[in-house]
Structures are given as C-alpha cells and as structure tokens.
C-alpha cells in the first residue's frame, strides 16, 4: 500500500498551483475592467495552468512509462487544439512539417 508521504509533492504542487491560478484569474478580471491588456494575462493564465498540470503529473508517484504516456497524450491534445485553431493554409504547413519530421512513409504505415 502506498504511503501518504509519497503524495506530499503532488499535493503541494496542486495547492501552490491553485493559489497562483486564482491570483492570475483575479488579475485578468481586473485588467479586463481597466484596459485591453487582458489578452496577455489570459495567455499567461492558460500557460500557467498547463505548467501546473504538467508539474502535477511529474510530481505524482507514477511509473516512468505511465508518466510518459500521459505527457504524450497532453502533447497530442495540445497539438490538435492548436491545429484546429489555425487557418487552413497554416494547417497545411503544420501537417507538412509533421510529416517531414516522420521521415519517409510507406503506404502500409498510413493505414
């Protein structure tokens, strides 16, 4: 049975991350009322949220393979979100660069 002391780094990461996200949320709400700098704070908020999620996954007592699979899944989801938000011309360039990184493909691996 796992001890609770193994979860202490994850709990501390979650608490500190939640507090920092709450502070950033309040700052972005106030900035939206004052001037147009809310976009920058929203981007910082989302980046910080992603950093908290990644730090939490790294802090959890998981095996290296499971941790790697979870982080890879997050990377694939983020790539899909970015690709779906881009205009079509950028999507084509994005896909081409991904296929260039994969190297030569034979028809069998595509299906």
Name residue, tokens 């941790």. Answer: 67
Indicate if the pLDDT at residue 2 is higher than 70.
no
Q: Are residues 2 and 56 in the same domain?
A: yes
Number of residues assigned to the chain? 111
Residues 52 and 73 in one domain: no
Question: Do 70 and 86 reside in the same domain of the chain?
Answer: yes
Predicted pLDDT at 111: 45
Give the structural domain span for 16. 1-61
| Judgement on whether residues 55 and 69 belong to the same structural domain of the protein | no
Q: Same domain, yes or no, for 56 and 81?
A: no
Residues 6+ apart with CB under 8 A from 38: 28, 31, 32
For 23-46, write each residue's pLDDT tens digit: 888 877 777 777 666 677 777 888
**Same domain for 2 and 33?**
yes
Prediction pTM value: 0.64
- Shared-domain flag, residues 47 and 57: yes
Q: Is the domain of 69 the same as that of 57?
A: no
The total of structural domains in the chain comes to 2
Structure tokens, 44: 């910082």
Name, in order, each residue with C-beta under 8 angstroms of 105's C-beta and a sequence gap of 6 or more.
99
For residues 35 and 75, give the distance between their C-alpha atoms in angstroms, rounded to a whole number. Answer: 33
- Which pair of structure tokens corresponds to residue 38? 């809310």
């Amino acid at each position: 049975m796992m001890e609770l002391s193994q979860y202490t780094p994850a709990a501390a990461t979650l608490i500190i991350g939640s507090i920092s996200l709450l502070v950033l949320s309040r700052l972005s709400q106030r900035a939206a009322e004052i001037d147009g700098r809310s976009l920058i704070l929203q981007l910082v908020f989302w980046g910080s949220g992603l950093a908290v999620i990644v730090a939490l996954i790294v802090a959890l007592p998981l095996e290296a393979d499971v941790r790697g699979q979870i982080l890879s899944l997050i990377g694939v989801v983020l790539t899909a979100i970015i690709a779906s938000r881009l205009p079509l011309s950028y999507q084509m360039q994005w896909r081409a660069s991904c296929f260039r990184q994969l190297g030569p493909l034979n028809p069998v691996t595509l299906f």
